[in-house]
Structure 1
């Protein structure tokens, strides 16, 4: 039977191709969570849907590696965020924590096989999941699906195809495919209550999640799942005390670097105001850790069989979440908190609003909606069909408070709505499968289909104050001084009534120019508020069969045509050969592509970045915008890939083992160029030329921007890796081990786009080795789960020339959980993640560090730096 599809928003012409087959022989990550009395169930043959066409194939018969995780596997992981569950179960899946990264603080970037999020295709019930509205503003600039919107209680299972599959599923499936299978129960359900906190006493989390099934007549079901969660922030930083500014009252360097001569400044008022500098309620002016977050999520799955040959299905979701975090602290004299001359000649400083300086607080409200529906069945000639449509929308509404628009002076509000981001997708599809007897060991499966998709990305204009170009964005806005340094008539007038104006002093506040827009995240003006859209039509064909009892072959071709990038043809061949009844050899070769999204083509942003460990206002502009063109950007084009895999899977009594090697050659890789310096100083050479380019492109506040960048197809990379998965089952104990090696190297001259630091970090910042070893043993009603998470060594370049590098040691973090089965339906679990409270090394080497401003640990570290976390969970199944 074919797979379920997705529904849509309006009726349009076109048809979709959703999924093909890459059938995969793969070993499974063991069901470490299976109940002890069901330990034998680990030996039950599992079937996979992802990558297969026609009749689903067993894991042992698939031609590429697919990890299959049951509902029990998912429940046993001590996380509620589906992202974290995958990180725990799949060693080649990594997840970052970005405390200060605009929307990246709320939607975390993930990686499969060293590839960014947008190179892994996400499916639900085998149908493409829409992207989030967030485009990560640095590095790979990813825009992928927000997996956190999928509550774990809605999942019957997850399949992770660890192989390039663009020929089967289309753009994005370069690293692999993750297929979430929704529960389809027509009765019963579950309820789980989870609560815990970090050893540090912060980061409290409370989650209630559940599922209930209903029958629709005798032949239908409606399964509803929901989740409510509330997570508090953490802080693993210290009080802000740097060489250029120190506000730690316990430090001998207190007040170093601050301009204490500003009007309205007094040490007493400043110290008193420090407590209010950050609205996050922390003891430091700038916390480092996870943000506050709360969410309500709903998912439904339904189906109804009209007959043995026709079924209607529908599924979808609604999710509303809100997160808030801090930006960089603004101290007196940092370029934002400066004296300016008002129209009456008096002095004004933002210290009148924020006596202790301020830390902007950033809030993102994310609304996610999807609806998918389709009709599947079988024609009279036994050809199977699946007609479907889907619509998906993700919207982020930003709020910025505890900040100012400096250029508005005293008239500035302290709370802004800088704008919204909206990503929408509409897709229609038709998929067909036919079986033919051609004399082979099994029938030939012919799968083919058509697809049509429209997608759009909209930047919604913010409130006018969030982007307003106030009078104080330019020196001497009231014309108090003449070019020769003498006072004008207006200047003499304010001097006559007591103003301290001194036009002969170049340091006088009359010459101060301050930033434009809500500080920390200027709003989207009407100039940048625009909708970027495109459409795509595609067709695919897939053939597979068991040529002999030992040899399975598969081939697939896919053609897609984009309104903005032209067409691409990709293909793939895969095989499985049985060496013995228990050992199979498998492999594949395929090409792939990923077309830059409308969001990646259109996103713009001005925010504070750390190009050399120092905060700088940095602007990101679209490559084809007037700014991007003035800076020398080229038009974007699709990334293309060539994927190879070769492996084996075998069963040896109680041991199952898979070993897979892979290579991903990625050309024209999409990346943000390293920050380009901008300066208003005519003697700064190229940096001044960039400033003039911004002015020529009519960029508001160009004189307050210190750096710029844009996305480009910047270089080629080669990724080589290996996955090993082993499961050993004995009586009441299940042992599972999985190990991933992944190494990425730049395979072209990237110096035109990246500085030495960014090149070095791309190749070395992720641990090349990652492993998970778990053991579960049961004693009647009590089961014990121990999990070891291993990370290999990795390195981080600290300066732009990569002459200073910090090396991080390998490490292991242990999890422990005890689960007591109170009765058939009720169980109580308690345990701890990172039970020994292990942290990576602190940031810094030889007096240099990659972070600043109170950070203790490297904020971009993919190895968790939050410390130990303990929890309790009550599960009820009915």
Structure 2
């Protein structure tokens, strides 16, 4: 432990030494004034209303306001993890091995998928990420949501979380709720921050530097700049796989230890920049603009390729049967023969460099009783001009998968007044997301010894353009105490999804392809030129929004929104909400609305083909658009929007003793949810019909996958928030309690067919249903105490995570894990050396709690359940120095 914490100890000493030496700095009255302003402004939100900014207590729907200071006072550096710590209904996990989800982690609000939450920045829609999470832990499978990790935390004034359906106000995706990131807009002052941390295990070292500065933009505006840079070392919470250990015990000295790494990926670099501008044009009008640029490089792990049993690389398809060399029977044609073959002595996959017709002349390499290949037989391959990867990679291999994520956004516009007190807001925005994948320490098996070990499989790009024109006016009506706030607007959006092909060798069909060797970069085959393309759609929308106090205690709101999409047609959604104040203490609120989530252009058009080999020859398993004729042959249809009905009811209470309390119940009925089918086999009859229709490449595919509107769910729950401020032990003390209960049930799912016994086959299996219902804890809460006395701030936060279920490795229920509840404790102590300079020391998960040990850990080496909402890494120490000016 001393060795592990040496670097952390030095960082602590350095932080406190720098703080002691900085006591000469003059105190900053400006910083105190700004803090006072922030404490007031964080109680007011603009999301959820187009009238004047509203107090949280007056909102007819649940609304959380999180100040920028709350994000700073944590050990996490990623915005999604920070959100999860302060909002119990927001969940995100580590995604240790999960394809593209490793690069852009899906997050879930109120138990729904990552793309069921609309993200705004300064009230304007943020574009979605280019990543489609094909492996999203069940709940977010196939989701394509925004990547909020690209927003620097140092740029945030506050975050507003609207926990209610709002599609009638903001359009697609706002089913679970809306998150609005409000940017700093100061014209002077700023901050600098440095932090360092590591896990108790001595890994995951994190370094982050960030800053913010406000500057005047002429005499009538501001220019506010924020930037962050961080690096994060990877972690490992692994044990040696039992199959890898068996090879080592048998004498294979080339097997890595551990063979497979489960942990958070390495972030080699992560840079974020955001600039926010505002300029008063006259007494009533202003121009605004903000720019965001981010780039990060991520490197994560993949599954170990066993050198004796990996199909398409090492697992033999030829052996000696009664003195005759034979190929393994096709299990589709001869399942009994294939089963008998698998039960016989296994062999190593060997290919002839002279071609397929010479493969049967190659030596047979059997596995010996100790499980290792016959070394003498391996040594004889070269003389026969034959090849096996066991001579090139005797210990197997574990691919490393990652990529570079580039994200850019720009919003510009003007707002003000015209005519008889009409308000207007005219804006345009552009969003760009590109994910350039990379994979190394892997092979293209079909190329044999000529394979490279590093590939660029290609990239996805998402581009969005949005244009808005909004008007508002307070209309006086005779006999009414308050004016009726009227708002209306138009929106036009264009979305584009692009696939770029990978390097040629990432998808090349090499000379050994016809002999049972896999095609493409193993683990993530490159996108072929025929997979590449650009697809776009547009939509326009019109909305009307009305808010009015019927009397001084009763607020009513109504919204209606019509949208027309070029790819699936029109949708009309509405919302009604109300807030009624009973005396000075209690307020009742309720809302009802319909909502929708439009299928993304990526989900409608993504194409990816993985090539495999069987005794019948080379065959491709394709993920195709649902409108592709091959998909249509197997039941594919154009995607329709997911549709929801949202109901909520609750109360708000502010008591004279300082206690603030909200309790809200929500009920979300979601129909036609989009998911990806399992692989559906194409029969010879299917292929003949497709070829008759002119689909000439139908014979290339053996099975097909596509996105489909597949199942219905009902999600309900309760959110409880309680705050209390008092004086304790001479210091100002704040208590905050936030609790969430969420329950999801799958009401129905689409049947894809029946098995040989007539039992139904569904596109989503029973295990995925259980993941949808129980992968997130039904119960979560946080209890935070913040005590401030003179120059000292102490913060403690208790986090509770209830029971949950994991279908380990997406095994279809073969490896179920039922995980018990856990409590973690976060603490932080801050000393203010001056009004400008402070240093902090803290621990996230102070007691080093971990999830229940994975009962299937020996299968692939994961010590803990991979989808744990509390993470798998244990305790994390950190230090931080902050200077404001």
**Is TM more than 0.5 here?**
yes
CA shift digits 1:173-202 (9 cap, x unpaired): 001000000111111100110110111111
Aligned pair 1:712/2:708, yes or no? yes
- The worse-fitting range, judged by mean Cα deviation, of 525-534 and 625-634 is 625-634
Which residue, out of 460, 467, 487, partners 2:500?
460
What does residue 324 of structure 1 align with? 299
Q: Distance in 2 between matches of 1:875 and 1:692?
A: 69
Query: 1:442-461 to 2 correspondence within 5 Å?
Result: 442-461=482-501
| Pair 1:365–1:447, CA change in 2 (3 A) | same
Partner of 1:115, secondary structure, is coil
Q: Distance in 1 between matches of 2:201 and 2:193?
A: 25
Aligned pair 1:75/2:72, yes or no? yes
What does residue 174 of structure 2 align with? 173
Say whether the 8 Å CA contact 2:527–2:609 is kept in structure 1. no
What does residue 768 of structure 2 align with? 758
**C-alpha displacement at 1:323, in angstroms?**
0.1
| Pair 1:62–1:687, CA change in 2 (3 A) | same
Aligned pair 1:622/2:625, yes or no? yes
Which residue, out of 840, 864, 874, partners 2:881?
874
Larger helix proportion of the pair: 2
CA shift digits 1:225-264 (9 cap, x unpaired): 000000010110112223xx64563xxxx35xxxxxxxxx
Query: 1:515-530 to 2 correspondence within 5 Å?
Result: 515-530=518-533
- The worse-fitting range, judged by mean Cα deviation, of 739-748 and 688-697 is 688-697
Q: Distance in 2 between matches of 1:809 and 1:309?
A: 58
CA shift digits 1:602-639 (9 cap, x unpaired): 22346799xxxxxx997543322344334433321100
What does residue 735 of structure 1 align with? 735
| Pair 1:37–1:540, CA change in 2 (3 A) | closer
Q: Distance in 2 between matches of 1:761 and 1:117?
A: 15
CA shift digits 1:88-110 (9 cap, x unpaired): 01000000222222211011010
What does residue 776 of structure 1 align with? 786
What does residue 221 of structure 2 align with? 220
Partner of 1:325, secondary structure, is strand
What does residue 862 of structure 1 align with? 869
| Pair 1:697–1:289, CA change in 2 (3 A) | farther
Q: Distance in 2 between matches of 1:834 and 1:36?
A: 34
Q: Distance in 1 between matches of 2:33 and 2:814?
A: 53
Q: Distance in 2 between matches of 1:155 and 1:116?
A: 25
Which residue, out of 659, 665, 668, partners 2:672?
668
Say whether the 8 Å CA contact 2:461–2:499 is kept in structure 1. yes
CA shift digits 1:506-563 (9 cap, x unpaired): xxxxxxx111111111111111101121000110000111110111000000000000
Q: Distance in 2 between matches of 1:649 and 1:457?
A: 43
Q: Distance in 1 between matches of 2:680 and 2:100?
A: 24
Which structure 2 segments of 5+ residues have no match? Answer: 1-30, 315-348, 356-383, 613-618, 752-761
CA shift digits 1:772-794 (9 cap, x unpaired): 00111123211211101001122
Q: Distance in 2 between matches of 1:240 and 1:80?
A: 32
Say whether the 8 Å CA contact 1:769–1:791 is kept in structure 2. yes
Q: Distance in 2 between matches of 1:700 and 1:289?
A: 41
Q: Distance in 1 between matches of 2:278 and 2:637?
A: 48
Q: Distance in 1 between matches of 2:178 and 2:649?
A: 18
Which residue, out of 545, 550, 558, partners 2:548?
545
Say whether the 8 Å CA contact 1:694–1:702 is kept in structure 2. no
Say whether the 8 Å CA contact 1:755–1:800 is kept in structure 2. no
Say whether the 8 Å CA contact 1:137–1:620 is kept in structure 2. no
Aligned pair 1:90/2:65, yes or no? no
What does residue 264 of structure 2 align with? 290
Say whether the 8 Å CA contact 1:750–1:759 is kept in structure 2. no
Q: Distance in 1 between matches of 2:231 and 2:645?
A: 43
**C-alpha displacement at 1:692, in angstroms?**
9.8
- The worse-fitting range, judged by mean Cα deviation, of 805-814 and 196-205 is 805-814
**C-alpha displacement at 1:761, in angstroms?**
1.7
Say whether the 8 Å CA contact 2:166–2:175 is kept in structure 1. yes
Partner of 1:629, secondary structure, is helix
What does residue 810 of structure 1 align with? 821
Q: Distance in 2 between matches of 1:874 and 1:209?
A: 11
Say whether the 8 Å CA contact 2:634–2:680 is kept in structure 1. no
Partner of 1:713, secondary structure, is strand
Say whether the 8 Å CA contact 1:291–1:323 is kept in structure 2. yes
Aligned pair 1:822/2:815, yes or no? no
Equivalenced residues, count: 760
**C-alpha displacement at 1:471, in angstroms?**
2.4
What does residue 125 of structure 1 align with? 122
Q: Distance in 2 between matches of 1:415 and 1:801?
A: 31
What does residue 319 of structure 2 align with? none
What does residue 748 of structure 1 align with? 748
Which residue, out of 635, 639, 654, partners 2:638?
635
Say whether the 8 Å CA contact 1:676–1:687 is kept in structure 2. no
Q: Distance in 2 between matches of 1:102 and 1:690?
A: 31
TM-score normalized with structure 1 length: 0.83
Say whether the 8 Å CA contact 1:760–1:802 is kept in structure 2. no
**C-alpha displacement at 1:318, in angstroms?**
0.7
Q: Distance in 2 between matches of 1:290 and 1:304?
A: 43
Partner of 2:226, secondary structure, is strand
Say whether the 8 Å CA contact 2:42–2:66 is kept in structure 1. no
- The worse-fitting range, judged by mean Cα deviation, of 80-89 and 138-147 is 138-147
| Pair 1:756–1:443, CA change in 2 (3 A) | same
**C-alpha displacement at 1:417, in angstroms?**
1.1
CA shift digits 1:444-481 (9 cap, x unpaired): 01100001110100000111111112222213xxxxxx
**C-alpha displacement at 1:80, in angstroms?**
1.6
Say whether the 8 Å CA contact 1:240–1:248 is kept in structure 2. no
**C-alpha displacement at 1:811, in angstroms?**
1.4
Q: Distance in 2 between matches of 1:860 and 1:701?
A: 36
Say whether the 8 Å CA contact 1:658–1:724 is kept in structure 2. yes
| Pair 1:429–1:622, CA change in 2 (3 A) | same
Say whether the 8 Å CA contact 1:627–1:697 is kept in structure 2. no
CA shift digits 1:806-854 (9 cap, x unpaired): 322221111111111111011111111111111111222xxx57x9321
Q: Distance in 1 between matches of 2:78 and 2:436?
A: 21
- The worse-fitting range, judged by mean Cα deviation, of 223-232 and 363-372 is 363-372
**C-alpha displacement at 1:689, in angstroms?**
8.5
| Pair 1:632–1:361, CA change in 2 (3 A) | same
**C-alpha displacement at 1:339, in angstroms?**
2.0
Query: 1:172-571 to 2 correspondence within 5 Å?
Result: 172-242=173-243, 246=245, 249=248, 254-255=249-250, 270-271=252-253, 273-275=254-256, 283-293=257-267, 294-333=269-308, 334-335=310-311, 336-337=313-314, 338-343=349-354, 346-438=385-477, 439-475=479-515, 513-571=516-574
What does residue 146 of structure 1 align with? 147
What does residue 159 of structure 1 align with? 160
CA shift digits 1:631-685 (9 cap, x unpaired): 4333211000000000000111210000000000000011223x3476xxxxxxx
Partner of 1:852, secondary structure, is helix
Say whether the 8 Å CA contact 1:45–1:59 is kept in structure 2. no
Say whether the 8 Å CA contact 2:620–2:700 is kept in structure 1. no
What does residue 108 of structure 2 align with? 111
Q: Distance in 2 between matches of 1:200 and 1:691?
A: 55
Q: Distance in 2 between matches of 1:646 and 1:785?
A: 32
Q: Distance in 2 between matches of 1:468 and 1:340?
A: 17
Q: Distance in 1 between matches of 2:186 and 2:686?
A: 60
Q: Distance in 2 between matches of 1:436 and 1:874?
A: 51
**C-alpha displacement at 1:36, in angstroms?**
15
Q: Distance in 2 between matches of 1:633 and 1:173?
A: 26
**C-alpha displacement at 1:749, in angstroms?**
3.9
Aligned pair 1:583/2:622, yes or no? no
Say whether the 8 Å CA contact 2:767–2:807 is kept in structure 1. yes
